[in-house]
Amino acid sequence: MSPLNLLAAAVDRIKVPSRDEALAARYAAVRRYTRELAAPLSSEDAAAQSMADASPAKWHLAHTSWFFETFVLKPYRTDYREFHPRFEYLFNSYYRGIGELHPRDQRGLLTRPSVHEVMAYRAHVDKAVLEVLLRDALPPAAVDLLELGLHHEQQHQELLLTDIKHLFSMNPLLPEYRPQPLMAAEAPPLRWRLYSGGIAGIGHAGRGFAFDNEGPRHEALLQPYALASRVVTNGEYAEFIREGGYRDPRLWLSEGWAMVQARRWQHPLYWNHALDAEFTLHGLHAIDPQRPVCHISFFEADAYARWAGARLPTEFEWEHAAGEARIFGQFADQADAELHPRIFTELSSEPMYGSVWCWTASPYLAYPGYRPAAGAVGEYNGKFMSNQWVLRGGSCASSRSHLRPTYRNFFPADARWQFSGLRLAKELHHGT
């Protein structure tokens, strides 16, 4: 019986879960979901790396375990025996405080350890974590790190999907991650929601989990603004293309135009040249004009907004608009989830979350008074605060339970392999 099934049996037997029992249940659920995401992959699929920005699924499986081993088990469980002496080196992503690390662009060469050994590594770590959790033996600092590890793993769940999509898109056989028909969907007309601005509270206030970069909570001054009721669709974006959007330098940031030229961008990442089909995790599908445009860079989002006579919202405008609204939308952990964005509506209500991450006009920066966590885990977020842009709202590849109004995702301006789209914003002038 696997440790996770043992746990499930244990959990069934108990009545009112303690704090650590609840955490253990969530640990088990998150860890199991990662395995489920990897299930459709052959061991070859799981080992390949299609570009330096992406990682093999096997590496995601191992690195997420490394995180618990490195930050929870080794420091807080004195009887812990590491699974393999070289894994500290092999599966360290970027924590230089831990030590030397394997070069990022060579992850696809790690044909050993095998997927099976990595799965054994996961089971070894799971057993050690669940044992210590179920005997309530972790100090609060360790519990916080365990919590961090779960959110870390949820981030890698999404990356596992985006990285596999990129890998499969490079294969002329166009493999399907999950064969599945796509439902028809209709996009409601775009409406503008108006916000009067003023002083807004921004950032996480400290109740419940948040990454360090979501705090401290602080005040920000907003001008009046308008925000679109939904994200931009393929149909709208196709018009931008037809009207010469990719040929007019005046629509682009200088750096973006240089990219368009150098990389010969003419459409979103996974569209074909005929502009009538796109590669998805469910195989090649006709481009549906009613679905959200996706897999565009910050530069493309910015150019589209300029062409549309609008702009990208700042991350503060987005967070202010999201406010206390309920978190609903299209997510990966829903039943029968499509792993391809669609416009999600619920009665007359349109969500701020899910479907596609929205590029904002905000570079990824520290909030006033930001302090990274102490120790090597402090490298988690802070050291990337240059030349990246904030995305907000989550995507069809995110878990619902992973998101918060204050959640800040970030990628370089030329990144296209994430589920990234845009929602328009506008200035509101007095009298408008």
Chain residues in the site for a copy of itself (CB under 8 A):
42-48, 50, 58, 86, 89-90, 94, 96-97, 102, 106, 108-115, 167, 170-173, 175, 199, 218-221, 223, 249-250, 252-257, 298-299, 361, 363, 365-366, 368-369, 379, 383-387, 413, 427, 429
Whichever of 355 and 362 has its CB closer to a copy of itself, that residue is 362
Report the alpha-carbon distance of residue 430 to residue 194 in Å, rounded.
12
Report the alpha-carbon distance of residue 254 to residue 123 in Å, rounded.
50
Whichever of 244 and 369 has its CB closer to a copy of itself, that residue is 369
Whichever of 29 and 90 has its CB closer to a copy of itself, that residue is 90
Whichever of 86 and 193 has its CB closer to a copy of itself, that residue is 86
Whichever of 239 and 379 has its CB closer to a copy of itself, that residue is 379
Shortest Cβ 363–a copy of itself spacing (Å): 4
Shortest Cβ 84–a copy of itself spacing (Å): 9
Shortest Cβ 128–a copy of itself spacing (Å): 22
Q: Which two tokens stand for residue 49?
A: 């790396």
| Sheet with 425-427, side-by-side order of all strands | 192-195, 225-228, 425-427
Whichever of 44 and 324 has its CB closer to a copy of itself, that residue is 44
- CA neighbor of 197 nearest in space, from 427, 405, 389, 431: 427
Shortest Cβ 252–a copy of itself spacing (Å): 7
Counting runs of H as helices and runs of E as strands, what totals does the chain give?
12, 11
Report the alpha-carbon distance of residue 245 to residue 123 in Å, rounded.
51
Report the alpha-carbon distance of residue 71 to residue 374 in Å, rounded.
12
Number of other CB atoms surrounding residue 327 within 10 Å: 18
Shortest Cβ 96–a copy of itself spacing (Å): 4
Shortest Cβ 79–a copy of itself spacing (Å): 26
Whichever of 228 and 361 has its CB closer to a copy of itself, that residue is 361
Q: Which two tokens stand for residue 29?
A: 């659920």
User: Whose structure tokens read 């509270």?
Assistant: 201
Q: What is the DSSP letter of 383?
A: G
Residues 6+ apart with CB under 8 A from 242: none
Shortest Cβ 256–a copy of itself spacing (Å): 7
User: Whose structure tokens read 């080196």?
Assistant: 89
Whichever of 256 and 405 has its CB closer to a copy of itself, that residue is 256
Whichever of 216 and 289 has its CB closer to a copy of itself, that residue is 216
SS (HEC) of 153-217: HHHHHHHHHHHHHHHHHCCCCCCCCCCCCCCCCCCCCCCEEEECCEEEEECCCCCCCCCHHHCCC
Shortest Cβ 47–a copy of itself spacing (Å): 4
> Phi, psi at residue 218, to the nearest 5°?
-155, 175
59's torsion region: left (phi>0), alpha (psi -120 to 50) or beta? alpha
Shortest Cβ 296–a copy of itself spacing (Å): 15
Shortest Cβ 145–a copy of itself spacing (Å): 19
Whichever of 117 and 239 has its CB closer to a copy of itself, that residue is 117
User: Whose structure tokens read 């196709």?
Assistant: 238
Report the alpha-carbon distance of residue 263 to residue 275 in Å, rounded.
17
Burial status of residue 147 (CB atoms within 10 A of its CB: 0-12, 13-18, 19 or more): middle
User: Whose structure tokens read 């309530």?
Assistant: 136
Residue 61 three-state SS: helix
